Amino acid sequence: MASRPGRRSSATFANGWTPTAPLATLRHGFKCYGRTLHVAFFKAAHDLNPDLEARYAANRLGLTRQLHFSSRSGKSLDLTLSLNGIPVATVELKNRLTGQSVDDAIRQYRQDRDPREPIFEFKRRTLVHFAVDTESVFMTTRLAGTATHFLPFNKGHDGGAGNPPDPAGRSYRTAYLWEEVLQRDSFLDLLARFIHLQVEEKRDDEGRKTKTESMIFPRYHQLQAVRQLVAAAGREGVGHNYLIEHSAGSGKSNTIGWLAHRLASLHDIQNRRVFDSVVVVTDRVVLDQQLQDTIYQFEHKLGVVQKVEESSRQLAEALENAVPVIVTTLQKFPFVSRQLLKMAEERGESGTGVLPTRRCAVIVDEAHSSQGGETATELKEVLGGEGLREKARQRAAEESMEELFHSMAKRGRQANLSFFAFTATPKHKTLAVFGREGEPFHRYTMRQAIDEGFILDVLKNYTTYATYFKLLKSGEDDPNVERKKAARALARFLRLHPHNIAQKTVVMVEHFQGVTRHKIGGRAKAMVVTGSRLEAVRYKQSFDRYIQAKGYPIKTLVAFSGAVQDDKLPGVSYMEEGMNKGIREKELPEKFATQEYHLLLVAEKYQTGFDQPPATHHVCG
C-alpha cells in the first residue's frame, strides 16, 4: 500500500501486528485511514447471521500449479494454496513410481528453497509447507535452509507411524491430505482456529532469558482428536465422558488449548451454546499463559481465558460469571462452595452455594495423576451439586483423582458435566469407565510417538541391574503369609535398603559421569525415576553424599509432591523445596534446564509430559 507524499501510512493491525503478517490480516483485517478492511471471513460458531454465512461462502481458495516464486532463478513450486489471493501454503509432490520420495521433497525445501525469498519469509508470507509422496506427508512452518525441521503429518498405521492403505485400493495412502485436510471448509477452519504463533521464553546456558517464536500447525492426530471430540460433544450434548490416550510427545498442551477454545464457543444444531464454561484442570505451569496467548490470536478479545491462582473466591467468581475458559489446579477447589454461599449471602440471596445448573466441560490433564481426594470431592460438589458430596466423601481420604472420577462416573451420568480426560498410560479401570466399550475415544500411541521420533524408546537404551533375594526359612512351623502382600513388603524393604540404594547410586552416578554427561556437547542431563516419594528422598541424599565424596562437578535436584515422612526417623519430614535449597516447585523445570544442574530425581512427577530433550532416563526399583 502506497503512502501519500510526506505522510505516514495509517495501515496498521490491531495488537501491534505488522502489515506483512498474513495470519492476523486474514483473521482481523487491517485499518486504513480509520476504516477496517477485511480480506477473509471465517465460519461463525452458529448459523444465526445470514450475512456472515454469505461472506464465508464468498471466500475464494486458489490452487496454483508451478508457481514461479523467483524471477532470478526461475524456480517454481509444485502447488501453492491461497485464500482470496494471499498465498498461505506450499506443497512439493513426489511420486515413488518415478523413483522419488518424500525425502526428495524435504531435500528440495532444505537446499533449493531460499528462506529469504518473500514467499517463504517466516510469519510474513506462506504459513506451512508440505512434503508429500504417495505414502507419507511431512510438514514444516519455517524454512531455515539445511536446518529446516519437518514433522510427520501421518495418520498412523497398526499403532505405529505411517499411513494405512485405502481399503478399496482406489487411492494413494496420502489421499486424506487433499480429500480431508485441504478440503475447503477444513482448510478455512485451520486458518481460523488452529494455526497460531507461539512465543516461548527460555533461559540459555548462561541463564539469560531468550524468546523463541514458532508457528504452530497441528499434527494430524491433534487435528483429528479435536475435531472428533468437538463433533461428539455437539452431537451428544452435556453429560458424557471422553478419554483421550495421547502419549508423551503428542503435543498435549496445544491439543488441550485448541479443544478448550472450540468447546467454549460450541453450539448445537439448534444454535444453542453447549457449555457455559470450560474448566481446564492442570498442573502445567505454562499452560495458562499459552492458552491465553493462543485464544487471543483467534478471538482478539481479552477475558476469554481466566487463570485462577489467587484464591478459591476467585475461582468461585469465575464459575458464577460463566467465564468461557477457566484454567486452575485441583487444589483450588476446596472451600469454593463456601465462597459461593458467602457471595450469595452478601447479595441477600439464598442458595446452596453450588453450581449444579452450570453446564461445564471439564478438561483433566493426565487423568490418573495422583491428587488429593478431598480436593476432587470439592470439584464434584461445586460443579455437580450437593447430592454428590456425601457419596464422594465416603472414599475421599484414600482415593486418587483417578479413582474419584471413576466413582463419579459409576454413580451415573451428571447432566451438567462433560469430562475430557487426557492420559498417556490409561489403566484398565480408566478404560473401563471413561472408554467407549473399553477403548479410548481417541488414541496416539507411544509406539507411534517413538516411530515418529518425538520420544525415545527407553527399552533400546537401558542396562539391567540384577538383584538377588536369599530367603531363609527358620522352621517347619512358620506361619503362612499372603503371597502378594509378602512380595510387596519384601520389594519395598529391598528398594529402601541403604546397601541397595548405595550400590545403585554408584552405578548411575559413575555412568553419568563417565558416559552420559559428555554427550550433546557436554550438555546432557539425566532423570532418575524412583518408585516412591521416600525413595526419591533417599536417592537424593545418597547421590549427594557420593558426588561430594568423589568431588564430581554434578548437581542434583529432586521432584516430589507434599511432605514425606521418614519411617526410620519419627518426626522427620522432607519437602521438595527444602531438599532443593529453596528452589520453588514452579522454578524447578527452568532451573533444571540451565547448565548448573545435571541430575533430576523424581517420584510420581514429570514422567509424562516433561520436556527436557537433553535428558536421558534411568529407573530405580
pLDDT at residue 566, rounded to an integer: 79
- Residue 208 domain-assigned? no
pLDDT tens across 533-589, in order?
888 999 999 999 999 999 999 999 999 888 888 777 777 889 999 999 999 887 888
Shared-domain flag, residues 313 and 434: yes
DSSP H/E element including 243? strand 241-246
Shared-domain flag, residues 594 and 516: yes
Shared-domain flag, residues 469 and 444: no
Alpha helices per DSSP H over 194-251: 220-236
Distance of alpha carbon 166 from its chain centroid, rounded? Answer: 31
Shared-domain flag, residues 495 and 411: no
Shared-domain flag, residues 227 and 154: no
Higher pLDDT, 340 or 166: 166
Q: Give the count of domains, the chain.
A: 4
- Residue 49 domain-assigned? no
Shared-domain flag, residues 22 and 88: no
pLDDT tens across 356-377, in order?
567 889 888 775 443 434 445 5
Task: Supply the range of the domain harboring residue 293.
Answer: 218-451
Q: Residue 127: give its domain's CATH number.
A: 3.90.1570
Q: Degrees (nearest 5) of the Cα angle 118, 124, 128?
A: 90
Shared-domain flag, residues 341 and 372: yes
The stretch 238-267 carries a mean pLDDT of 91
pLDDT tens across 42-79, in order?
998 888 889 999 999 999 999 999 999 887 778 999 99
Neighbours of 190 (CB within 10 A): 19
Is 141 strand, coil or helix? coil
pLDDT tens across 204-220, in order?
666 677 888 899 999 99
DSSP letter (8 states) at residue 178: I
Judge contact between 86 and 22, C-beta under 8 A.
yes
Shared-domain flag, residues 410 and 316: yes
Shared-domain flag, residues 285 and 406: yes
Of the listed ranges 19-23, 164-168, 451-455, 585-589, the least confidently predicted one is 19-23
Shared-domain flag, residues 596 and 524: yes
- Residue 211 domain-assigned? no
Shared-domain flag, residues 322 and 431: yes
- The b/e string for 410-442 (b: 16+ C-beta within 10 A; e otherwise) is eeeebebbbbbbbbbebeeebbebbbeeeebbb
Phi and psi dihedrals of 305, rounded to 5?
Answer: -115, 135
Q: Residue 422: give its domain's CATH number.
A: 3.40.50.300
- Residue 14 domain-assigned? yes
- Residue 44 domain-assigned? no
Shared-domain flag, residues 224 and 298: yes
